[in-house]
A = this chain, B = another copy of it.
């Protein structure tokens, strides 16, 4: 069938107050952009008339300003899951205006299918091509697009000419059956293809095609600096040493790496370390640095959910597709982050902590235990099932007024049971096989900033030795309370907590 060409405004008018929309895209590559911007206008108009207009948003991970930003500003979001990076959305969440459900990315699609979050009314999918028989070819990300296409009553396709049709063929679309009918996810190495290069939908559900030319909204990250370079070098040295002593196989293992400037620094250092063989990535997000390493032959293959690269870098891939076609694959987040596949492949996972405590618990979502930063993303999917799970962070923040190493994390996303290694610019704490007390020694000694070492040793003294996990419970969050009070964790006075 031939699809109707409609305007973004016409498409947006299909979305009613109370609807849940399902979006393509991931961090924020490949997100639909034009229709959400028009939904914002409808919301504004309805609100001006005194009518309620709020929707739920289900997507792969962060969208750009054209969705989370603009819709937050006009107060059009009632509910949203999962990960997000938009500052206006963040502000609205922390103001209590939006019900934000922060969920492991591998679970998003299945929890929508299981019915835990309500109905998907309309799917809005960015495509580089769509065929009359209902084959939708995605752009720069997998996300939860296959699931929302299947569940939604209506599908709107944003056919975006800012993405090259060269993207056709790069996707591996696979949606598992739900229990009790689910089978194995048959990926045994990062390059295994298990699905189709397109999403097959019932063409009757496609209510219209919105033609756009709207570049992706991926950010570029801060350049490396001496601190991130040192962290990167510590990671590379640690992995090289583990390979040397036979803990990591000599062929190395597939790598997952988080998003941001620390991740870039880590990949840079791994790329430079010639004792580490060329390796594969089985990861969530491919950033510019990975594309560079593929061009240099240091990364042999990249499996991910999204190409979260600058638009220049993306254009470079489209232009060189003959080179990249057998070196890159994009999958739905349910597959890129699958605990089953992560544990099977033996991924080395490297993610960023906001803070870690002396026992190896990690906070990766909440500032001061209360304010949402971005969400957990896929860090839990990888950490929990990794062969070796590593968390990195600078040892201090805010000109040294905040220590990233604290007695007890103010919010906990990754527990002591899941975290193997903590790395700062100060050094490496190897927590594997250690009891909590042994972990505390390693973390304070190797990872804490010199300004905070004695403060942390003094906390341990206050906590005593008479337990598995020593804490002076009334003082455990004392450094956070001090930060709230005086603006500097260094001012904490443990004597106040003695009884």
Contacts and interface: CB of A to CB of B under 8 A. Distances in A.
A189 interface: yes
A109 B371 CA distance: 38
A247 interface: yes
B417 A179 contact: no
Given A437-B96, A468-B372, A469-B411, A251 B339 contact: no
A180 B345 contact: yes
A100 interface: yes
B179 A346 contact: yes
A46 interface: no
Given A251-B180, A438-B99, A369 B471 contact: yes
How many chain copies does the complex carry?
A: 2
A372 to B, nearest CB: 4
A26 interface: no
Nearest to A359: B411
Given A182-B344, A339-B385, A473-B368, A95 B249 contact: no
A437 to B, nearest CB: 7
Contact of A473 (B100, B370, B463): B370
Given A432-B116, A465-B96, A180 B184 contact: no
A14 interface: no
A484 interface: yes
Interface in A441-499: 463, 465-471, 473-474, 476-477, 480-481, 484-485, 499
Contacts of A251: 180
Q: Helix, strand, loop or mixed for chain A's interface? A: loop
Nearest to A368: B473
Contact of A415 (B183, B415, B484): B415
A240 interface: no
A103 interface: yes
**In this complex, which of A186, A249, A376, A468 has the most chain B Cβ atoms within 10 angstroms of its Cβ?**
A468
A115 interface: yes
A256 interface: no
Contact of A433 (B116, B366, B384, B463): B116
In the complex, the 8 A-B pairs of residues with the closest C-beta atoms, listed nearest first: A179-B346, A372-B468, A370-B467, A184-B184, A99-B435, A474-B481, A116-B432, A340-B340
7 contacts: A115-B246, A116-B432, A180-B251, A184-B340, A339-B385, A340-B343, A412-B415
